[in-house]
Amino acid sequence: MSTQTQWRTLTEVQNPLEADLIKSLLAGAGITCFIPDRNFGLIYGGALGLKIQVPAEDWPQAKSLLAAFPINSEPDQPAQK
> Does the pLDDT at position 77 exceed 60?
no
How many C-beta neighbours within 10 Å does residue 21 have? 15
What is the mean pLDDT of the segment spanning 4-19? 88
- What digits encode the pLDDT tens for the residues 16-34? 888 899 999 999 999 999 9
Grouping H, G, I as helix, E, B as strand and the rest as coil, residue 5 is coil
pTM of the predicted model as reported, rounded to 2 decimal places: 0.72
pLDDT of 1 reads 46
E strand spans, 1-81: 7-13, 50-55
Using a CB cutoff of 8 Å and minimum separation of 24, what contacts does 39-47 make? 41/16, 42/16, 45/16, 46/13, 46/14, 46/15, 46/16, 46/19, 47/14
- What digits encode the pLDDT tens for the residues 42-61? 666 556 788 999 999 999 99
